[in-house]
Structure formats: C-alpha cells, structure tokens
Amino acid sequence: MVRTALTRCSRLACVLALLLSLNSIVAAAQQLKAETPTPQRQAWWTERHDRTVSRIRQGQVDLLFIGDSITQGWEEDGRPVWDRYYAGRRAVNLGFNSDQTDNVLWRLEHGELDGIAPKLAIVMIGTNNATIREDPPETTTAGIRAILTTLRTRLPDTKILLLAIFPRGASADDPLRRVNEAVNARLPTLADQHQVVFLNINRRFLDGDGRLSAEIMPDFLHPGALGYRLWAEGMEELVKKLMAES
C-alpha cells in the first residue's frame, strides 16, 4: 500500500513537472514572437512601408516617431499639432496601425533606418501586444527591449526617448490598461537615462481618479486633437534637450 501511494505521488509529481515545463515552453515561444521581426501581411501595410522607406532614402531626417496607430494618428487628428511642433524639425512618422513590437522590428530591419542619423527617435509601442496576441507584460517588455537594441546598434549617435504606453479604457480598472501599466513599470529598467531616456506623461491624459476623457481620447485609446496637443506639450522640453536645441 505504501509503495502504491508513493508510486502515485511520483507519477503526480512527474505530471506536474511536465505541465510546468510545457507552460515554460509556451511562455518562451510567446516571448520569442514579440522579439522576432515579422511583417504584417496587409497590402496597405506593405505600401505604407514602401512609401516610408522612399522618404527615408531622401535623407534629411532629424526626428523619428516610432509606434503603432497612435503614432500614425499624427497624420490625422494630430496634424495641426504636428505642423506646429515637428514640421520644421525634419520629422518622419514611423507609426503603423495595429503594429506590435515584432512588426516594428521588421520595419526597422528592412529599410526604415537605412542611411540616416537622426538626432532623436521617440518610441511608444506595446498596446497592441496586449490585445492582438494577448502578450503578458514581460513579453511585451522583451519586444520593446529588442527595438531599443536595434536602434542603439543601428543609430549609435541617436538619442532615444522611450515613452510609457498611453492609458486606455475609460477607468483605472480597465483590464488592458492594467496590462499596459505592468509593462510601464518595467520600462525604466531599459533606459540608461543617457542614450535611452524614459518618460511617462500619462497623468496628463487622466483626471484625479484615473479616468480618461473622451475629449482627450474619443475611443479611449487613440488621442483626439486635444490628446495630441497634450502629448506634444508633455515632452517638448525634453525633446528640445535631447535634440540639443537648448
């Protein structure tokens, strides 16, 4: 009886060990996806990438914005603010709708950094990792780290401003906002505050209770005109410093 019980315990321990091992393998595979350069397959995405590379090949780039649809929106609701703050700074928008960290990596490795030496690259990416692939915070952080490594390697003289992922959802207890905040808590460890500087301006978008206004982000994810103004104002002094304008 004792031997039978011990055998059962041994088998159970083996099963538990196997399950833990499988979970580790799945987590490692998921993290690898966030760090592996991968293109989106939609035609519009490829066309936008081709246009962006054509612009990069023209040179005269001092400022890069790197991100997803939130960054791409500088060309739409954010256009007046962009024209005021960035049109005269030879800025290029590398924001692509629905991009996750792996999509950004692919773009950076396929022409979007070729032959340029900008003064500053502004990076804000990660919210789509939480939704499209449901990456856990540590996985998204690994993807962001890979982007920073690529930038530091390819653009050794470029300063990098790493922004916290912007708040989403109407209230502070929004599940996806909580995921992003867990990523944001890890991001300062990726910045040396010399070449890579971390900045969190999220309080500018929220009221005292952590609520997000539809006036600032109409769909509680993408900034409207006011949101883009708050974004620009919130980092302007640091942008000037990092671009050696003051």
**234: Cβ contacts below 8 Å, ≥ 6 apart:** 199, 201, 204
Active site residue 219: yes
Catalytic option among 173, 209, 219, 246: 219
Residue 171 catalytic?
no
Helices 2-35 + 137-154 axis angle, to 10: 40
Q: What angle do CA 153, 155, 161 make, to 5 degrees?
A: 100
Report the run of H or E that residue 63 belongs to, with start and end. strand 63-67
Whether 222 is catalytic is yes
The DSSP 8-state label assigned to residue 214 in this structure reads T
Query: How big, in percent rounded to 5, are the helix, strand and coil portions of the chain?
Result: 55, 10, 35
Task: Look at residue 100 and give its three-state secondary structure.
Answer: coil
Catalytic-role residue among 62, 69, 98, 174 = 69
Q: Which of 68, 102, 135, 222 is catalytic?
A: 222
**Catalytic residue set:** 69, 219, 222
